[in-house]
Amino acid sequence: MSHAVHGLLDSGCVDRIVVAGPARHRASYPSLTCDGDRVVFAAEPTQADSAKGANSGDHALRSALSTAAPGPDDVVLVHDATRAFVPASVVSAVVDAVRDGAAGAVPVEPVADTVKVVDTEGIVHGTRDRSLLRHAQAPVAVRADVLAELLTGDAGPTDAAELITRLDGRARPVPGDPHGMGVHTPFDVAVIEALLSTENTA
């Protein structure tokens, strides 16, 4: 979490960060408090919210947006803490794309592997044209009024990945970076540590 937050701040184009997540986890991130009011935590769901099932990803986004209180034309970034090492240049690129007129922007990387289509019976039916496929990364940038519109109703997007889908063709792709990989497994940790170690010794 700390890497993700400080990576955004280091980009130079982020004024404020709202961390959305359970209050019980906040003590795990003491270093986040060193940035004063630039890093705040979103409000916890009320009992009424929880009763309606809002203690989920879409509540987290609603709460974070309410806490941030951006203007309608401001650019909002929806990030994924598992992609904590995304370079500042990628953060700036998605922000610039929205400032240049896109409703939203997402960093993407080309798909290098061959992708096969397999049906529910386990039968291979063909190969996807990987020239049209991309790995989506984060953060996703979106105009504040567009995000508010997407969050209207009972079931809004729950995370950065779903936000791309909800933008329904309005998201502009920008070049991602290998450092923007999601870190989920011990293998992922080994890969990102190797990348960072190579850079530090270069």
pLDDT digits (tens, 9 = 90+) for 167-182: 888 899 999 999 999 9
pLDDT digits (tens, 9 = 90+) for 66-114: 888 899 999 999 999 899 999 999 999 999 999 999 999 999 999 999 9
Q: Is 87 helix (H, G, I), strand (E, B) or coil?
A: coil
Q: Is the pLDDT of residue 202 over 80?
A: no
Rounded CA gap, 139 and 158, in Å?
14
Q: DSSP letters along 106-162, please?
A: EEEEE--S--EEE-TTS-EEEE--GGG-EEE-SPEEEEHHHHHHHT-SS----SHHH
Q: Is the pLDDT of residue 133 over 70?
A: yes
Domains with residue ranges and CATH for the chain: 2-108+135-201 (3.90.550.10)
- The DSSP 8-state label assigned to residue 45 in this structure reads P
Residue-level pLDDT at 51: 43
Q: Is the pLDDT of residue 13 over 60?
A: yes
Decide: 139 and 78 in contact? Cβ < 8 Å: yes
Residue-level pLDDT at 53: 45
